[in-house]
């Protein structure tokens, strides 16, 4: 069944083959005073856990008056192991956690987590969406990854782990020891989910058509500037760019700049209607 806008209300597969429940890690930071602002739910990309947002972004978001939450997709971080997880299962994780929050949330996805968020927006009536350095998949994205990191990318085609390098993830500004420590904490996505990253279909239209912000770095060695532009055009906008940063903007040396841009957008130009931050 669909509405006039073409949004699916009843999905027979969801009823016939529900996603298996899983224990999920959710980290949070909340403001000292509740100002009624919408919570932000941060969704990390493949191989990343909620810890990548706990490092800097959760506390800073709360200091700006927004409740902040980060979920580790099943099989990531301290969530339940899930070697057979699919993109659909990851989508289920995000929608379930978002629905449990005290107010209608803003969904913020990084990397392949942005792909999960783009699909979640068709299931959950988000206040807004933010796609950070979005890896939206497809064979073109795979070709870029293969050219830039053949040793780390090719094994993923045959069921092995996708390994991103320090050079792909961070700028030279981040101290080497810090960067190595972060890379050492990375895990891996499920094999089926990795493959589906290449073969998935286009996301359905977002429920209620919320505003969506796309941002990244023109110097990202995972996502090309052209890919950022295509992602933003899908939502009728241009990407917000942060030169000199790597793919993992939330961990890089200048992590505060993109986060403040997101929060400024929400407080002033976005859908919150809360006035200046």
Torsion on CA atoms 214, 215, 217, 222, rounded to nearest 10: -50
Q: Is the pLDDT of residue 95 over 50?
A: yes
Is 124 among the domain residues?
yes
Taking residues 246-275, what's their average pLDDT?
86
Whole-number pLDDT of residue 197:
78
Q: Which of 68, 26, 73, 69 is nearest to 48 (CA)?
A: 73
**DSSP reduced 3-state for 245:** coil
Mean pLDDT for all residues in the chain: 86
For the segment 153-176, what is each residue's pLDDT rounded down to a tens digit? 555 555 556 677 898 899 999 999
The more confidently predicted of residues 141 and 116 is 116
**DSSP reduced 3-state for 156:** helix
> 87-100 and 191-199 are packed helices; what angle lies between their axes, rounded to 10 degrees?
100
Report the percent of the chain where pLDDT is more than 70: 81
Whole-number pLDDT of residue 195:
76
Is 6 among the domain residues?
no
Tokens at 14, concatenated: 């969801």
For the segment 200-259, what is each residue's pLDDT rounded down to a tens digit? 778 889 999 999 999 999 999 889 999 999 999 999 999 999 999 999 999 999 999 999
Long-range CB pairs of 99-106 (<8 Å, 24+ gap) are: 99/124, 101/39, 101/41, 101/67, 101/69, 102/39, 102/67, 103/36, 103/38, 103/39, 103/67, 104/38, 105/38, 105/39, 105/40, 105/41, 105/69, 106/38, 106/39, 106/40, 106/41, 106/130, 106/266, 106/270
- Are the C-beta atoms of 249 and 223 separated by less than 8 Å? no
- Are the C-beta atoms of 29 and 68 separated by less than 8 Å? yes
The more confidently predicted of residues 97 and 7 is 97
Report the percent of the chain where pLDDT is more than 90: 69
Q: How many domains does the chain divide into?
A: 1
Is 246 among the domain residues?
yes
The more confidently predicted of residues 198 and 176 is 176
Q: Is the pLDDT of residue 274 over 80?
A: no
Q: Is the pLDDT of residue 270 over 60?
A: no
**DSSP reduced 3-state for 18:** coil
Which domain CATH number covers 60?
3.40.50.1820
Q: Is the pLDDT of residue 85 over 80?
A: yes
Taking residues 63-73, what's their average pLDDT?
98
Domain that holds residue 93: 12-269
Whole-number pLDDT of residue 201:
72
Is 274 among the domain residues?
no
- Are the C-beta atoms of 117 and 131 separated by less than 8 Å? yes
Is 5 among the domain residues?
no
């Amino acid at each position: 069944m669909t509405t006039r806008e073409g949004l699916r209300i009843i999905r027979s597969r969801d009823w016939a083959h529900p996603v298996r429940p899983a224990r999920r890690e959710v980290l949070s930071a909340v403001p000292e005073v509740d100002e009624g602002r919408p919570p932000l739910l941060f969704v990390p990309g493949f191989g990343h856990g909620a810890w990548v947002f706990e490092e800097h972004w959760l506390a800073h978001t709360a200091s700006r008056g927004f409740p902040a939450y980060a979920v580790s997709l099943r099989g990531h971080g301290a969530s339940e192991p899930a070697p057979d997880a699919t993109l659909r299962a990851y989508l289920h994780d995000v929608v379930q956690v978002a629905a449990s929050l005290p107010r209608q949330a803003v969904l913020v996805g990084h990397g392949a987590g942005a792909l999960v968020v783009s699909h979640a927006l068709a299931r959950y009536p988000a206040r807004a969406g933010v796609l950070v350095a979005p890896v939206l998949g497809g064979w073109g994205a795979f070709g870029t990854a293969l050219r830039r990191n053949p040793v780390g990318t090719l094994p993923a085609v045959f069921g092995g782990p996708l390994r991103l390098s320090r050079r792909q993830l961070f700028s030279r500004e981040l101290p080497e020891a810090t960067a190595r420590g972060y890379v050492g904490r990375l895990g891996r996505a499920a094999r089926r989910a990795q493959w589906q990253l290449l073969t998935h279909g286009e996301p359905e239209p977002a429920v209620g058509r919320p505003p969506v912000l796309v941002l990244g770095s023109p110097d990202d060695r995972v996502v090309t500037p052209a890919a950022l532009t295509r992602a933003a055009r899908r939502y009728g906008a241009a990407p917000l760019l942060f030169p000199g940063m790597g793919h993992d903007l939330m961990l890089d040396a200048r992590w505060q700049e993109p986060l403040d841009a997101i929060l400024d957008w929400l407080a002033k130009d976005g859908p919150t209607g809360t006035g200046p931050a």
